Amino acid sequence: MNASATSSPSDLQKKVSAVIFDLDGTLLDSENVTKNAMKEFLARYGKVLEDGEDRCVGMTQSESARCTVEYYGLPMTPVQYTEQLITLCKLGWANPKVLPGVDRLHRHLQKHGVPFALASNSVSANIEAKISHLPGWKDRFAIILGSDEVKSGKPSPDIFQEAAKRMGVSDPACCLVIEDSGVGVQAARAAAMNVVAVPSRSEAHRVTAADTILHSLLEFQPELWGLPPFEDWIDNALPIEHVDLHGIFDNSVFQEESGGGSSGLIDQIYGSYLGWIRVNEHEPLKVIADIREDPSCPKTRVIKVIPLGGSSDSGGFRSTQKVQLTLTGYLRRENKKEITGCDTTITEEEKMRATAALDLPIFATASHSNQCEGL
């Protein structure tokens, strides 16, 4: 994904008083749950989900069902398809994966008294099913709206206008919408609201009308929208929930092995991260993991691993062997080109900052973890 800011920071210094979030693909990795359920469902009818399937992203439930039934020639009505698919989806919804930076931004808005709403093209019952397993989520939003509560779903502006109305915000310019899909961006624009897009790689080309495009909410800067800035950076490094990846280290590149299961490397993990790499019982080695698009293979990412404070063969660490890579922090890059993915050079100063940060307990937890399993 070649996500980038589409406006300069000086253009984005606007004052917003409320934020409206989409749900699927913006806050939760629930679209992958739906995709896996579709694979299983289509297989029952001898159909194969096409690679890069994204024609239904952002659609309402009824629109998506009609689109899928017609495209794959399924022997059922859209209503029957929906009922059967949701049964499969609910298994995945019971264990939702929150996307990077989401809880952090929610806590920040709550701390500063900024109201925020949830406005999704999912119907209300499905929203309930998706967030009910997440402690505190049902209470953190000022408003929760599904597409079945308004006349028309996205790309109509109805749902965003209704959310603003219920929050008591009369000026749409005071609302900031955070979306991942093209239809969501269209809806925000139709509502005359500001919009930040955090798309998947397959959806990035559809969100160019957004004010700015980010790889993940870890890149979000509240101060550009007249909101209080984050205060949780520690010497230009941000603690994150640990991400554990298993794979092969070869020629300074980490290649994930998912073992037939789902990848731990969701689309929104992009940029420069602090962490640890471990081989068997050896002590873990400090590293920077620089995650970028592979220029030789579109829509594919490459993870370049840069050892810190020692050579690549220290502590039993050498090329072409199974390792565990644990990401514990996000590195804020000094170069302004970082968000565009144009600059992949890690400076010596950044290496020094990363090395120092990994000595702090909040980033160094992984160094005391148990021996890796399955290596």
Is there a catalytic annotation at residue 267? no
350-361 average pLDDT score: 92
User: What's the CA gap between 348 and 56, in Å, rounded?
Assistant: 45
Instruction: Give the CATH number, domain containing residue 346.
Output: 2.40.30.30
Q: Provide the pLDDT confidence category of residue 332 given band limits of 50, 70 and 90.
A: confident
Tokens of 27: 């806050």
Catalytic one of 22, 158, 267, 290: 22
Q: At a CB cut-off of 8 Å and minimum separation 6, what does 19 contact? A: 109, 114, 115, 116, 117, 175, 176, 177, 178
Widest Cα–Cα separation across the chain = 62
User: Which domain, by its residues, includes 81?
Assistant: 30-93
Q: Do both 305 and 219 map to the same domain?
A: no
Q: Do both 287 and 253 map to the same domain?
A: yes
79: Cα separation from own chain's centroid: 30
pTM of the predicted model, to two decimals?
0.85
Q: Provide the pLDDT confidence category of residue 167 given band limits of 50, 70 and 90.
A: very high
Contact 269, 100 (CB under 8 A): yes
Instruction: Give the CATH number, domain containing residue 85.
Output: 1.10.150
Q: Do both 213 and 190 map to the same domain?
A: yes
Q: Do both 273 and 176 map to the same domain?
A: no
Lowest mean pLDDT among 15-24, 88-97, 102-111, 202-211: 88-97
The model's pLDDT over 190-241, given as tens digits with 9 standing for 90+, comes to 999 999 999 988 888 899 999 999 999 999 999 999 999 999 999 889 999 8
Contact 147, 60 (CB under 8 A): yes
Q: Do both 130 and 270 map to the same domain?
A: no
* Residue at which a domain ends, from 77, 93, 109: 93
Tokens of 372: 């890796």
Is there a catalytic annotation at residue 22? yes
Q: Do both 101 and 79 map to the same domain?
A: no
The pLDDT value given to residue 165: 98
Q: Do both 259 and 341 map to the same domain?
A: yes
Tokens of 274: 């602090």
The pLDDT value given to residue 35: 84
User: What's the CA gap between 326 and 286, in Å, rounded?
Assistant: 10
The pLDDT value given to residue 342: 45
The answer as to whether 369 is a domain residue is no
310-334 average pLDDT score: 71
Q: Do both 215 and 148 map to the same domain?
A: yes
* Residue at which a domain ends, from 62, 93, 124: 93
The model's pLDDT over 129-140, given as tens digits with 9 standing for 90+, comes to 999 999 999 999
Catalytic one of 11, 24, 180, 250: 24
The answer as to whether 218 is a domain residue is yes
Q: Do both 201 and 126 map to the same domain?
A: yes
